[in-house]
Amino acid sequence: MTKSVVLASASPRRTALLKQMNIAHTIQPADIDESPRLNETPLSLVSRLAAEKGQAVKAKLASKQTLTDDTVI
């Protein structure tokens, strides 16, 4: 049995990285507001967004393993 994760992102770069590592995955983008909050640091922002994406997607897909990530430039 091949294990697979759900990527809670539509990022082509993240998909390419998973393919490079031979990690089977499906893509399920999270529909969340990614706006930064007042005085939110970049580290706090990406941590919060990754957690919110994971929660949003996991709620739809009950028992699947979910991979989330976020970056800011």
| Catalytic residue set | 70
Rounded Cα distance, 50 and 67, in Å: 9
Residue 24 tokens read as 């089977």
Burial class (CB in 10 A: 0-12, 13-18, 19+), 45: middle
